[in-house]
Structure 1
Amino acid sequence: MTALRPEVAESDRARQPDGAPSASGGTDLVQLHESIAALLASRGQWRQAYQHLRSAFDLVCADQEEEPQIPEQLRREVDRLRREHAEAREQSLRDSLTDSYNRRYLDQRLVAMVSERGATRGGLAIALIDLDWFKQVNDTFGHLLGDRVLQRVVELLQEDLPEGGFCARYGGEEFVLVLPDVDPASAVEITEAARMRVERHAWASLAPGLRVTVSIGLAYEPPAGDAVSRPPVAPEQQLLRADSLLYTAKQSGRNAVAYREGGRVRLAGPASGRRGIAESRVVGY
């Protein structure tokens, strides 16, 4: 910003002897702030751009006894910058391929949810989801179709989520469903329904012979104040538990939801009848 000082100084010289800006000098300084704001906005530096527009507004309002009318052009410019700032922030929290939330949002939101547990009636469920045999999909049908599969899977996972629930891309072909304020039975029901939607989707409409399924590990934390609840675990620990249960779902035949109930690992839905359910890699309960 040092390169702008001569221009600012020149504008300062246009002030009247009493220190108030002259009509032309004040206008020039307002225009300077607006130009700087436009330049900063074009670079995505929304906060600095907004500050310069505020400075322009303050100059317009200076030494006016009555509350001034905000110039319509300045009002529109401030509204535009606010809108673009909000859009840019939202995009920074989204995965560019699937438009689900990204790992950054997941980490931030989970920390907030754990701290808010005392204000919720239900528990917090985290489901870690992995596409089965996804490498074979890419190898057989190509990466472009593989990208379309990921996009479609996210659409299916996001259907019928409870209020406050969301889907985030964890990495590669792994996704996370976060289900706040739910009880254990509802968490199992929601994740099993998501698994079934993926399994039953008409994948052959994308490519003949294409079939897609997912395996899910579901970790559940009871609400604070529950008689059987423990001190709230960190989000990283709950994700580790979900990952451990995902391993169980994979090793027990895939295309299943693995969860823990009464100290035992179980599979939901049709998979519950399978024999030889694998033990989790990490217990930590």
Structure 2
Amino acid sequence: MAVTPTLPMKTATPAPFSDIERLIDEAQASYAPRCEQTLVLAQQAVELARKAAYAEGEARALLWWAKSAFVLSGWRDAKPLVTRALKLAPEQTAGALRAQLQHVVAQCHVAAGHPALALQSWLQCLNGALQTESVATVVEACLGIGDLYVVHDDRQQAFYYHSLAHEFAQLLGDDDLCAKSSLFLASDLIKLKRLDIAKSVLLGTEQHLILPLRRDWLAEMCNYLGLIYSESGEFELARRYLDRAYEINLETGYLWDQTVTLLSLGRMTRKQGNDAEAENFLKRALDVVMRFGAANLIMQIHEELSKLYEARGDHARAVMHYIGFHDHYMQIAREGLATQATRSSARRLANLEIKLRLMSSELEVQQLRQQSQATSQQMKQLETAAYRDGLTGIYNRRTLDQRLPDLVKLAQGSGTPLAILVIDFDHFKLINDNFSHQTGDRVLQEGALLLQEGIRDADLLARYGGEEFALVLPGATLPVAVQVAERIRQRVANFDWDEIAPGLRVTVSIGCAQLRATDTIESLIALADQALYSAKRGGRNRVREAATA
């Protein structure tokens, strides 16, 4: 299956429909900078298409009417429009359009507090996007599925799907989608308390922002930077970023963004001890969100107001807002993914993930074909391989086996150093036995994130097998590798593993080796393995280096 990076939104259009197509194109072009204009243009296109009995054109116009209505007034206005569009869009010839419509349906379900229904819609969206090779819609669906896990506070799974979306956006070479997916990743990293990495991601996002077209995303970026500086106690800088975000929110007119920024301002000023200002921000946030309805945001605002009034001693209002928090919490819990997602949906999602990995490999192949003429054997290997570990999202053993020989050959040919770390999570079997295999999986996922902190673009981190990881450091001498290993060991040992399971403690043992002139791949890894075994025999939670002689 050859994957095309872009897919036309429409087929050849009869001449009588040219005015309708022009209006739809203008509506689409104005969507990001001026949603209000999109709304007017799409409504005009719908009216003309209906009179001309042009069903697919009406469906496409309804898509942009629904998208702009969702942003400007909320899901209640958008849902009937997109439902009508799905009835009009032909199943056989409008697969890409139907996938986009299902994406908007899913967004409406999320805003209404029905994540299980949203998951079903995003599964249909993802399946349609894969069938029609609409990579941009694949990105949007992965971002949406990740956000379902955000609603249920499972940031690890959210990070996985958002990373998948970002990978596809990069393969597609779409700056707009790269910027959007980067913002989702930054949000996850902030919640995971990876503030330095989140800040780095946000600052890197600037190069992808298409301004002034994406001023709403600039506002989101300012909001996240405000949250980061607020977390680190730099309130003056945080306030500057949040005020800038809200200023842009008002200019764009996006109610969701206004609510999120007001909530951030309320939390920050409450943290500063300025309860009166915090109360004002939170009440304004509640007023705005009630205009379009979003159960998750309403729940968060009620929770903040309840805490504020409880601290003030105003128990009557604290109870009132706690009831509001609890009602929306229970609504979301009743619709929770864990209880409501059917086994069929879970199987469908797993099957679609396999297709996503295959599509990712195909896109990588396309890029390689465009860049150089690779050998036929190498192309076949790429076409059948999935390079990422399914649990942790980092590279897998296959990638290590393919790339390490080239790195070793380059180092030995140029006379530059190269080092490798073999990292093993101590007593991992006991973690599975004493806590659960699910806890063990989360340890590996969190551990992979910790291992990735501070590594360079040129470094290669891969899951080597089970609880073992390998980190290849081109250009690094053995003393440098030992320093890197010691930072990793401390980072893992000092992490608050109680967040995953009370009483959980996790450490790693690390073996380090530097490539010698006579080393093969096997002898290099054997050196690192010997050093690892020395670390384990020495009591674990330590770093050992291999002999260089």
Q: Give TM class, smaller chain.
A: 0.5 to 0.7
Question: One-letter code of the match for 2:529?
Answer: D
The aligned residue for residue 515 of structure 2 is 221
Looking at structure 2, the residues matched to 206 and 84 of structure 1 have their Cα atoms a distance apart, in angstroms, of: 33
The aligned residue for residue 168 of structure 1 is 462
1:190 partnered with 2:467: no
1:150 counterpart (434, 444, 449): 444
Question: One-letter code of the match for 2:363?
Answer: A
- 8 Å contact 2:509–2:540 — kept in the other structure? yes
Please state how far the C-alpha of 1:122 moved relative to its aligned partner. Answer: 3.7
SS at match of 1:116: helix
Please state how far the C-alpha of 1:119 moved relative to its aligned partner. Answer: 5.9
1:242 partnered with 2:537: no
- 8 Å contact 2:530–2:546 — kept in the other structure? no
Say which structure is richer in strand.
1
SS at match of 1:258: strand
Higher-RCO chain (CA-CA 8 Å, sequence separation at least 6): 1
The aligned residue for residue 541 of structure 2 is 255
1:180 counterpart (469, 474, 489): 474
- 8 Å contact 1:121–1:181 — kept in the other structure? no
SS at match of 1:208: coil
Structure 1 gap segments, 5+ residues each? 1-40, 45-77, 223-229, 264-284
1:105 partnered with 2:391: no
The aligned residue for residue 96 of structure 1 is 390
Provide the aligned C-alpha RMSD in A. 3.0
Question: One-letter code of the match for 1:259?
Answer: E
The aligned residue for residue 338 of structure 2 is none
Question: One-letter code of the match for 1:139?
Answer: D
SS at match of 2:422: strand
Looking at structure 1, the residues matched to 132 and 405 of structure 2 have their Cα atoms a distance apart, in angstroms, of: 31
Question: One-letter code of the match for 1:187?
Answer: A
The aligned residue for residue 86 of structure 1 is 363
Please state how far the C-alpha of 1:205 moved relative to its aligned partner. Answer: 1.2
Looking at structure 1, the residues matched to 438 and 132 of structure 2 have their Cα atoms a distance apart, in angstroms, of: 31
The 1:105–1:84 alpha-carbon spacing in structure 2 relative to 1, beyond 3 Å, is closer
The aligned residue for residue 73 of structure 1 is none
Question: One-letter code of the match for 1:234?
Answer: T
Looking at structure 2, the residues matched to 139 and 251 of structure 1 have their Cα atoms a distance apart, in angstroms, of: 22
Looking at structure 1, the residues matched to 532 and 411 of structure 2 have their Cα atoms a distance apart, in angstroms, of: 24
Please state how far the C-alpha of 1:87 moved relative to its aligned partner. Answer: 5.7
Q: TM-score, normalised by structure 1?
A: 0.58
Please state how far the C-alpha of 1:166 moved relative to its aligned partner. Answer: 2.2
Looking at structure 1, the residues matched to 424 and 362 of structure 2 have their Cα atoms a distance apart, in angstroms, of: 33
Question: One-letter code of the match for 1:195?
Answer: R
Question: One-letter code of the match for 1:202?
Answer: D
Please state how far the C-alpha of 1:120 moved relative to its aligned partner. Answer: 4.9
Q: 1:50-93 deviations in whole A, cap 9, x for unaligned? A: xxxxxxxxxxxxxxxxxxxxxxxxxxxx9999977226869701
Say which structure is richer in helix.
2
**Matched residues, number:** 182
1:208 partnered with 2:502: yes
- Which contiguous aligned blocks of 4+ residues in structure 1 show a shift greater than 6 angstroms? 78-84
The 1:79–1:102 alpha-carbon spacing in structure 2 relative to 1, beyond 3 Å, is closer
Looking at structure 2, the residues matched to 103 and 179 of structure 1 have their Cα atoms a distance apart, in angstroms, of: 16
- 8 Å contact 1:137–1:146 — kept in the other structure? yes
1:135 partnered with 2:429: yes
SS at match of 1:237: helix
Please state how far the C-alpha of 1:255 moved relative to its aligned partner. Answer: 0.3
The aligned residue for residue 16 of structure 1 is none
Please state how far the C-alpha of 1:187 moved relative to its aligned partner. Answer: 1.0
The 1:157–1:84 alpha-carbon spacing in structure 2 relative to 1, beyond 3 Å, is closer
SS at match of 1:92: coil
Looking at structure 2, the residues matched to 43 and 181 of structure 1 have their Cα atoms a distance apart, in angstroms, of: 44
Looking at structure 2, the residues matched to 84 and 113 of structure 1 have their Cα atoms a distance apart, in angstroms, of: 21
Please state how far the C-alpha of 1:242 moved relative to its aligned partner. Answer: 0.7
Looking at structure 2, the residues matched to 188 and 79 of structure 1 have their Cα atoms a distance apart, in angstroms, of: 37
Please state how far the C-alpha of 1:163 moved relative to its aligned partner. Answer: 3.6
Question: One-letter code of the match for 2:542?
Answer: A
The 1:238–1:202 alpha-carbon spacing in structure 2 relative to 1, beyond 3 Å, is same
Looking at structure 2, the residues matched to 79 and 212 of structure 1 have their Cα atoms a distance apart, in angstroms, of: 39
Please state how far the C-alpha of 1:100 moved relative to its aligned partner. Answer: 1.2
Looking at structure 1, the residues matched to 173 and 395 of structure 2 have their Cα atoms a distance apart, in angstroms, of: 26
The aligned residue for residue 22 of structure 1 is none
Structure 2 gap segments, 5+ residues each? 1-129, 134-171, 175-357, 366-381
Looking at structure 1, the residues matched to 420 and 497 of structure 2 have their Cα atoms a distance apart, in angstroms, of: 26
- 8 Å contact 1:203–1:212 — kept in the other structure? yes
Question: One-letter code of the match for 2:460?
Answer: F
Looking at structure 2, the residues matched to 101 and 83 of structure 1 have their Cα atoms a distance apart, in angstroms, of: 13
Question: One-letter code of the match for 1:209?
Answer: G
SS at match of 1:253: coil
Q: TM-score, normalised by structure 2?
A: 0.31
The aligned residue for residue 51 of structure 2 is none
Looking at structure 2, the residues matched to 113 and 43 of structure 1 have their Cα atoms a distance apart, in angstroms, of: 38
- 8 Å contact 1:158–1:166 — kept in the other structure? no
Please state how far the C-alpha of 1:121 moved relative to its aligned partner. Answer: 6.3
The 1:249–1:79 alpha-carbon spacing in structure 2 relative to 1, beyond 3 Å, is closer
Question: One-letter code of the match for 1:235?
Answer: I
